[in-house]
A = this chain, B = another copy of it.
Amino acid sequence: MASIKDVAAEAGVSVATVSRVLNDHPSVSEDARTRVLAAVEALGYRPNAVARSLRTDQTRTLGLVISDVMNPYFTELARSVEEAARALGYSVIIGNADERPDLQDHHVRTLLDRRIDGLLVSPTDGASPLMLDAARGGTPMVFVDRWIPGVDVPVVRADGQAAVRDLVAHLYGLGHRRLAIIAGPAATTTGSERVEAFRAALAEYGLPLPDAHIGQGDFQAESGRRVTEGFLDLPEPPEAVFAADNLMALGALDAIRARGLRVPDDIALAAFDDIPWFVHTDPPITAIAQPTGELGRAAVRALVDRIEGRPPQSVTLPARLVVRRSCGESAPPEQPAASEPSPATNRSQS
């Protein structure tokens, strides 16, 4: 592959001049510029990003470590992150942690070794020593979706508190009183927050949340199935199940079907994270939708701000309830319910 030296030789100038042309430095004669450009064209020359990075100490690359690529929520997040980064001239390298702390560490380490300019993380688990080092160690970093408490890193996330309250109101309105939740890992912020929001909302309605109605899942479909089976084995099974992510909702649906029960007639089901497929399940699933695209963009913005020396901002965007049919047929809606996804442009910053 042609190097800058070959171009210099071909154009009859020094490598310094070639470099200047390539980085359009002002002081190059028009004549030299055209000769260099011609040589570049003739040789099909492309600058070696590796060499350039070594010299300039920047790779124009962002790392994104997410908990599970197969989860449509994260896929969409990854996509919007890449899009936003590309618009700013950055590439993105995605690391899939598969909800495994060891894999997460592997990817963080690999990305750091590659000297990425900044790191976007949705931590799978509590803080690993490596992650703490990275956070302190100068690598620009931003948490997205999930975060690690006590670490001084900006966070870009959605707040589901209000939406969870709306959901509980919705369930209550439909007559459901025994509500249960399939929680995510307590070590993740999203895992514990959603339970807390649910508990708080139930309290507002004077409803109990017995321990038997809190199932411990791990954000994967299989755990949703397992937990739901436990719920159904209860002497008095819950009337409604709220899954803390979309995959566990899927597992729950499996378990319910396997018993020959029907949603919502026999049991209601709702999920955190809305995804395109929820429209097509039987029945369509009521869910809490995060403004995923906006989250990705905000995260990139914050990270690039840090990288380029501007003060980064934590951002919290509201999630919202999308009512479908999995909790029961809403009686003739008294007020215009938020049935159709109106884009959530609302945004709060902290």
Residues of A within 8 A of B (CB): 1, 44, 46-51, 53-54, 59, 69-70, 72, 75-76, 78-79, 82, 86, 91, 93-94, 96, 106, 109-110, 112-115, 133, 137-138, 221, 250, 253-254, 276-277, 279-283
Contact of A48 among B78, B115, B282 (CB under 8 A): B115
A98 CB to nearest chain B CB (Å): 8
A168 CB to nearest chain B CB (Å): 25
Docked complex Cα distance between A72 and B46 (Å): 34
Taking a contact as CB atoms under 8 Å apart, the answer to whether B282 and A283 are in contact is yes
Contact of A51 among B54, B110, B221 (CB under 8 A): B54
Taking a contact as CB atoms under 8 Å apart, the answer to whether A93 and B93 are in contact is yes
Taking a contact as CB atoms under 8 Å apart, the answer to whether B82 and A76 are in contact is no
For A50, A91, A254, A283, the residue with the greatest tally of chain B CB atoms inside 10 Å of its CB is A50
Known contacts A50-B59, A54-B50, A96-B82; A44/B221 CB under 8 A: no
Taking a contact as CB atoms under 8 Å apart, the answer to whether B75 and A69 are in contact is yes
Taking a contact as CB atoms under 8 Å apart, the answer to whether B282 and A50 are in contact is no
- Chain B residues positioned under 8 Å from A276 (CB to CB): 221, 250
Q: A111 — nearest CB in chain B belongs to which residue?
A: B91
Taking a contact as CB atoms under 8 Å apart, the answer to whether B50 and A280 are in contact is no
Contact of A280 among B49, B82, B133, B253 (CB under 8 A): B253
- Chain B residues positioned under 8 Å from A69 (CB to CB): 75, 78-79
- Chain B residues positioned under 8 Å from A44 (CB to CB): 133
Known contacts A48-B113, A250-B276, A282-B280; A75/B82 CB under 8 A: no
A-B contacts besides A49-B115, A277-B277, A282-B282, 10 pairs, CB < 8 Å: A54-B54, A70-B72, A79-B96, A86-B106, A94-B94, A221-B276, A250-B276, A254-B279, A254-B280, A277-B280
